[in-house]
Structure 1
């Protein structure tokens, strides 16, 4: 049996940079929601401080700064479409205004990607944001994120996105 081709390290590096950008975007959206910071202030602060550095003992991976900006800006510009999509996927007794700010940030960023970034397979988006949820929660929250994002993907017609392989 032939040895499989080694993976292209640039593909892995790009994926890691996007994952770091997603995590930073969630943190920025949380800060904007809770701290009432402007988009410009948040982008500036995260662009120079949080992306790819150590802060208060936490090591932040180098992130794709452009992708980070696309997510944060896209969520803010598309919030009138994103929030109703999240609300529709949540159970009636638990609307978006009732979930905590971190979950709101995770769901908003993920739904932005599901609705606006059709070049990224929905399975990738869902997996990445469930992983982000696991970074913040140990309880049922990651399962809820998975269920909500799966529902949004289905509603948006993205539940059968092909997964690109190399």
Structure 2
């Protein structure tokens, strides 16, 4: 039995949630620093997943989900950005929004387009990611509204 098979359902969910958070961070870093998918993925998997910073242990992430999200986000970026633009107010195209939110919409869009995870789960998970980045702001509600629109466009049969 492999280590992954020994994990409880709650531990697996936690690893997937961590992978989504790391994917948003990685996409942000890739855009800000002009780094490649492969270099950023290796950095996160080696130095962030389960690492200890200032006495705090970082969560272990699901490497497979993490890589799938960031690779799909890059491969489908034009399609995801168009979906996001349609969900935003006309005067606020994706290029004008906060870069963390842009990375979040790209990660969530990648997971919506992959059709593996139910859309409502994707929305809930990425609203939680928004809360992690913006604990006191209105951004989580904004993220919920935009992702709902994107999910209905990408997977209308699920609604």
Q: Decide: shared fold, TM above 0.5.
A: yes
Structure 1 partner of 2:147? 149
- Report 1:1-166 matches (<5 A): 10-116=8-114, 118-137=115-134, 138-158=136-156, 160=158
Listed as ranges, the gaps of 5+ residues in structure 2 are: 1-6
Q: Distance in 2 between matches of 1:56 and 1:105?
A: 26
Higher share in helix = 2
Deviation, 1:42, is: 0.6
Tell me, what secondary structure is at the counterpart of 1:51? Answer: coil
How much has 1:157 moved relative to structure 2?
A: 3.1
Give the root-mean-square deviation of aligned CA atoms.
1.5
Change (3 A) 1:157 1:71: closer
Runs of 4+ residues over 6 Å off in structure 1 = none
| Partner of residue 3, structure 1 | none
Structure 1 length as normaliser, TM-score?
0.86
Q: How many residues align?
A: 152
C-alpha distance in 2, partners of 1:115/1:47? 24
Q: Out of 59-68 and 14-23, give the one that drifted further.
A: 59-68
In the alignment, the residues of structure 2 paired with residue 81 and residue 22 of structure 1 have an alpha-carbon distance, to the nearest angstrom, of 20
